[in-house]
């Protein structure tokens, strides 16, 4: 799983589970995970990042842990991942979430399936950009 995949799974996670009040703090996890790889910690870098992701302000920590999972090759990758997560949750949660729950959406797609579809379409739409 690369950082791009992790960002989308984290967005899906944030949309479908209870978000902590300070959900945006998880946006700092990619930068932290990248910074830890610069230290001589070896495999412990991932473990330390996972521990930080489990700190109380980020609970429930599933989204933060998903962001801590991949290995970030550069600071740019970490920034892209954080940006994707923050924009994804903000846009999907704030702008689309209510609309996707409305009666205009067919009943079998309403709510979670529609959210996942939007996320999947966004994943494939942005994939070429991620390879630049």
Q: Using alpha carbons, list the distances in angstroms from residue 72 to 2, 58, 112, 113, 114.
A: 8, 20, 29, 30, 30
Beta strands in 4-125 (DSSP E): none
CA-based nearest residue to 55, from 22, 77, 78, 85: 22
Residues 32-51 that bind other proteins (CB under 8 A): 46-47, 50-51
Is residue 114 at the binding interface for other proteins, with CB under 8 A as the rule? yes
Pattern 66-85, other proteins, x by CB under 8 A: x--x----------------
Q: Kindly state the smallest distance separating residue 35's Cβ from other proteins, in Å.
A: 20
- Round to whole Å and give the CA distance between 125 and 113: 18
- Round to whole Å and give the CA distance between 4 and 15: 17
- Round to whole Å and give the CA distance between 72 and 80: 10
Is residue 87 at the binding interface for other proteins, with CB under 8 A as the rule? no
When the beta carbons of 17 and 74 are compared against other proteins, the nearer one is 17
Residues 94-113 that bind other proteins (CB under 8 A): 94-95, 97-98, 101, 107-113
Distance of CA 57 to the CA centre of its chain: 16
Q: Kindly state the smallest distance separating residue 130's Cβ from other proteins, in Å.
A: 11
Binding-site ranges for other proteins (CB under 8 A): 1, 5, 8-9, 12-21, 46-47, 50-51, 53-54, 59-63, 65-66, 69, 90, 93-95, 97-98, 101, 107-117, 119-120, 123-124, 127
């Amino acid at each position: 799983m690369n950082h791009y995949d992790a960002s989308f799974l984290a967005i899906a996670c944030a949309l479908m589970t209870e978000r902590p009040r300070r959900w945006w703090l998880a946006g700092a996890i990619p930068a932290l995970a990248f910074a830890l790889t610069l230290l001589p910690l070896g495999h412990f870098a991932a473990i330390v990042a996972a521990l930080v992701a489990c700190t109380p302000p980020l609970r429930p920590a599933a989204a933060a842990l998903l962001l801590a999972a991949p290995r970030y090759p550069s600071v740019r990758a970490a920034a892209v991942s954080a940006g994707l997560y923050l924009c994804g949750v903000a846009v999907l949660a704030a702008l689309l979430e209510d609309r996707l729950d409305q009666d205009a959406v067919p009943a079998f797609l309403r709510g979670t399936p529609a959210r996942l579809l939007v996320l999947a379409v966004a994943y494939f739409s942005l994939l070429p950009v991620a390879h630049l």
